[in-house]
């Protein structure tokens, strides 16, 4: 739920990095019900967030096999926001395992550094 909470932030930030991204909690609880048979209750005020204010550079890692937090959501969000999407063959929160050259997460870290440099952060 951390990705969603970060979208509701009040403090000013220079950038955002996410994996397991979603911006519509209703879609996620429906997917959890279908995929896992579990019922999740939303807190009052949980709503679909379509635009970050201000528009900050956002990096989203998306796993192609993730059936809960899906790339289609990140792509839809990217239409109204400054978003870079990095897709990988893997499952939910598997980016650190997938992006490794020699050590755990070393290429994942390289991708983040590249994103920060390209956005002059």
Confidence check: pLDDT of 1 > 60: no
Domain residue limits at 67: 2-118
Mean pLDDT of the chain: 89
pTM of the predicted protein model: 0.87
Q: Per the structure, how many domains does the chain have? A: 1
pLDDT of residue 9: 67
Q: Which residue has the tokens 């950038």?
A: 15
Pairwise pLDDT comparison (54 vs 34), residue with the higher score: 34
What CATH number corresponds to the domain at position 11?
A: 3.40.50.1820
Q: Read off the pLDDT of residues 88-101 as tens digits, 9 standing for 90 and up.
A: 999 888 899 899 99
Distance CA 29, CA 14 (A): 29
| Least-confidence region, from 4-18, 24-38, 80-94 | 4-18
pLDDT of residue 6: 65
Question: ∠ CA(74), CA(62), CA(94), 5° rounding?
Answer: 150
């Amino acid at each position: 739920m951390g990705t969603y909470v970060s979208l509701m932030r009040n403090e000013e930030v220079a950038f955002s990095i996410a994996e397991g991204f979603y911006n519509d909690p209703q879609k996620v609880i429906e997917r959890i019900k279908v995929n896992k048979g579990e019922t999740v209750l939303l807190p009052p005020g949980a709503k679909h967030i379509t635009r970050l204010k201000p528009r900050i550079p956002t990096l989203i890692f998306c796993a192609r096999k993730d059936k809960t937090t899906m790339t289609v959501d990140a792509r839809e969000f990217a239409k109204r926001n400054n978003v870079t999407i990095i897709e990988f063959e893997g499952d939910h929160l598997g980016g650190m395992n997938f992006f490794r050259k020699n050590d755990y997460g070393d290429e994942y870290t390289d991708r983040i550094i590249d994103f920060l440099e390209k956005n002059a952060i």
